[in-house]
Amino acid sequence: MTAAPPAERVERRPADGGADAPVANRSLTPGVRALVRRRRAWIVIALALVLGGLVLALIQGLVRPPGVALGADNPAPGGAQALVRVLSAQGVEVRSVRTLAEAERAAARGATVFLYDEAGLLDRERVAGLAAAADLLVVARPDFAALEVLAPGVRLAGAAGGPIDRAACELPAARSAGSLSEGQALLTVDDDAAASGFAGCFAEGDAFAVVSGPSPDGAEVALVASEAVFANETIDEAGNAALAIGLLGARDELAWYLPGPADVDASGAPTLAELTPGWVSPVAVLLGLAVVAAGVWRGRRFGPLVVEDLPVHVPAAETGEGRARLYARSSARLRALDQLRMGAIRRLTELLRLPRSAHVDAVVAGIADATGRPAPSVRAVLVDALPAGDRELVGLARDLDDLERAVRDALRPSPTEPDPTGRRP
């Protein structure tokens, strides 16, 4: 035997006279604090991700200098805007080019070509083509490919231990500079390169910060091992400015060439099949077939649904109370009100002796005729009114109860009316 559903519990607190006064139950709709406490794990994860992104952006901003390195219009410490402005003031027309074709056209007009390939985008063939088109080529921090093409026998040799105070060569730009600042890289010149005409300047031991000579294609090449000679932050140290101006300001036109993505030879890039071993493709096919076979072998289809009795009996009152608490915790006021309205409309339809398929407008009209209330107000209670909060939801529930009670009272026969069956009271 199941117990009757418990009555609504009412909290009591002492009033002024010491008597207990009833207090309405606390609302179950979660507030801001409850929502934050319930989702604090996700909030912490989101804050950690945002903080990590900000820290990463800050680190990248500190490590990676803004703008293009040695860009002609870049005023950042790693740019070269200061040198370009000085050259322009001395009458040198500086043209910033971003493709190999533009650099070759400028070289064909007799311009000095300044090359700084930071990412190593140019292959050996493109470097050779540029050297064949140029008469004077100045290369900042050359890589292995550029050295092999422009100056065979010249190799990278690490970094200098400090400033270099002596030019020790016959290159006019180096002699006018006299010294170089810290941060210089070094190059070595072997006997074959020296025999072909290459000579070094600013020596530290057997290595040099600047190497010049004729390339195999006939261009006069000046190899500056470090970009510190041209950068904004170091251009004014020691003789860096004199060396850069002497190398780049020898002619009236200068092509400032920083290779871009358009200069990459996409046809020479290896394909995915070339990068993977030969056994990868057959193994991938076998794995796919094995997955399909396992799915066919172990897969099962769901049969028809089987209706089973529940092992326990759950009273309807407890089910309703549990659903109401779920609605309250998720703030589903409209769904809860819909359940109340559907139950009220079903009971009112039975009271008015209307068919179950009757439209709600017919139910509203029947209630208005029975109670004398305006049809719009009845429809507002049954259909139109929407709760903005818990207080409005409770008020609409009370209005539904009042409306149902009014219909029952209106349809209850009066005590003074004779019984239609003819029976005596």
d(C-alpha 105, C-alpha 255), whole Å: 10
Residue 14 pairs in a beta bridge with 20
d(C-alpha 418, C-alpha 366), whole Å: 24
Token pair in block for residue 164: 């270099």
Say what the pTM is: 0.54
Token pair in block for residue 263: 């200069």
d(C-alpha 165, C-alpha 179), whole Å: 4
- Using DSSP's 3-state secondary structure scheme, residue 306 falls into coil
DSSP character for 337? Answer: H
> Tokens 């071993």 map to which residue?
277
Residue 83 host element (H or E): helix 81-89
**Among residues 377, 381, 372, which one has the least CA distance to residue 410?**
372
pLDDT in tens, the chain (425 residues): 444 444 444 444 444 444 444 444 444 555 677 777 777 888 888 898 898 888 877 776 555 556 788 999 999 999 999 999 999 999 999 999 989 999 999 999 999 999 999 888 888 999 999 999 999 999 999 999 899 999 999 999 989 989 999 898 989 999 999 999 999 999 999 999 999 999 999 999 999 999 999 999 888 999 999 999 999 999 999 999 999 999 999 999 999 999 988 777 655 556 677 667 778 888 888 999 999 888 887 776 666 777 777 677 778 888 878 888 887 788 888 888 888 889 899 999 998 999 988 899 999 999 999 888 999 999 998 988 888 888 888 898 899 999 999 999 888 876 665 555 555 54
Q: Are 124 and 261 in contact (CB under 8 A)?
A: no
List, in order, residues 6 or more apart from 400 with CB less than 8 Å away.
340, 341, 344, 381, 382
pLDDT tens-place string over residues 365-421: 999 998 889 999 999 989 888 888 888 888 988 999 999 999 998 888 766 655 555
pLDDT tens-place string over residues 199-256: 999 999 999 999 999 999 888 999 999 999 999 999 999 999 999 999 999 999 999 9
